[in-house]
Amino acid sequence: MAVYNFSAGPAMLPKEVMEQAQSEFCDFQNTGSGLMELSHRGPQFSQVIEETESDIRELMNISDDYAVCFVQGGASMQFSMIPMNLMLPGGFAEYADTGTWSAKAIKEGKGFGDVKVIASSKETNYDRIPVIRHWKPEAGSSYLHITSNNTVAGTQYHSFPETDAPMIADMSSDIMSRVIDVNKFGMIYAGAQKNLGPSGLALVIIRKDLAERTPANVPTMLKYGTYIETQSMFNTPPTFGVYLLGLVAKWLKSKGGIVGIEEINDVKSEALYELIDNSTFYRSPVDPSSRSKMNVVFRLPSEDMEAQFIADAAKEGLKSLKGHRSVGGIRASIYNAMPMKGVEALVDFMNEFARKNG
Ligand SMILES: *Cc1c(COP(=O)(O)O)cnc(C)c1O
């Protein structure tokens, strides 16, 4: 039986990537050693990290004004590194509050300056992306922080605010899933374990001039400048994570790049939302203006039925459909690596379950 893993993260990786990593695991390029056993300064890993960076630059059309960095500590470390490095002295930063992850970013920001929450959808239970009224940032704003896709609530920005302050986006759960203009952002970051590779690694794309703001007393390992100056090789980088991210980037290129994967992602998410909207059994708690193409959340008529749905689906090989513990319900995470066949299997199961129980 085919197994489809709908986990929100760590999430499934492309099967082709897993198989290639397996085939090279013990003997990388006829060296007789696995890549994780080789020096990070040797020719093999040097080539891996250089190609990974150049493939990411090509996929996302990143200009030389930006650095591409590989940083440990996941996306959560960035919640702290951002204000530590980029909050102007005695200054303030603006944040949009769209749920769980943005709340964590806001909390860490408060340690380093004044945090102004300029938009929030808390009152409606984070069921939508709030309108950011403050299109023109208040003079002196260090940056505007947003969470482009809200993994827990199942919401996503379908357009981005225009702002003069550098816009910083946590794209952990939708990076490289759709075409975006990197030049609109001061910084983009993502924990790898949703769309890019294994957990622990964060991809950071930062406009180089912003890194010059960093106060001198920030520890070396927490300075963006350190990663920029050393090509992320100040210390031993997470070599296996970078390697897998590189394989994912090559896989994306083989799928027609981000334009190609975006088309597939549109078809996948539309199939699920269409079923939900045409059903009297399933219900979406998310405002249609803000529905995520990565994390499709929905409800059934009762919590008992939801528990039954999750258990029956797992028996059919459709795994990890339980919603986040803070909100309940069902969540189907359909990142880049989820094949159309997996979504089709879920659609068939949902139709059958509604017919039997509706
Ligand atoms: C998963 C996730 C995070 C946390 O990532 P870690 O790598 O575990 O720190 C942060 N932001 C968003 C939007 C996420 O989906």
Q: Concatenated DSSP letters for 89-146?
A: TT-EEEEEE-SHHHHHHHHHHTTTSEEEEEEE-GGGTT-SPPP----SPPTTEEEEEE
Identify residue 339 by its one-letter amino acid code. Answer: P
Question: What confidence score (pLDDT) does residue 163 get?
Answer: 81
State the pairing for strand pair 295-298/92-97. Answer: unpaired
Q: What is the pLDDT of residue 294?
A: 98
**Distance from residue 73's CA to the centre of ligand 1 (Å):** 10
Q: Does domain 15-254 have CATH number 3.30.300.100?
A: no
Q: In terms of Cα–Cα distance, which of 185, 234, 175, 191 is closest to 77?
A: 191
Task: Identify the pLDDT of residue 152.
Answer: 97
CA-proximal residue: ligand 1, atom 7 (nearest): 74
Mean pLDDT, each 10-residue run in order, the chain (358 residues): 96 98 97 97 98 98 98 98 96 95 97 94 94 69 96 96 90 98 97 98 98 97 98 98 98 98 98 98 96 98 97 98 94 98 98 96
Per-residue confidence (pLDDT) for residue 139, from 0 to 100: 78
CA of 151 to the centre of ligand 1 (A): 8
**Ligand 1 centroid – CA 168 distance (Å):** 15
Is residue 170 lining ligand 1, measured as CB closer than 6 Å? Answer: yes
Which residue from 97, 172, 195 has its CB within 8 A of the most atoms of ligand 1, so it is best to mutate? 172
User: Is ligand 1 within 6 A of the CB of residue 74?
Assistant: yes
Q: How far is the CA of 10 from the centre of ligand 1 (A)?
A: 10
* pLDDT for the residue 230: 98
* 288 token code pair: 């249609």
- Please tell me if the CB atom of residue 101 comes closer than 6 angstroms to any atom of ligand 1: yes
Q: Supply 161's token pair.
A: 């605010």
Q: Is 172 in the pocket of ligand 1 (CB under 6 A)?
A: yes
Q: Return the structure tokens found at 89.
A: 């002295």
Q: Where are the domains of the chain?
A: 15-254, 257-357
CATH of domain 257-357: 3.90.1150.10
Annotated catalytic sites, by residue?
A: 101, 170, 194
Residue to mutate, 104, 173, 187, ligand 1, most ligand atoms under 8 Å from C-beta: 173
pLDDT of residue 24: 97
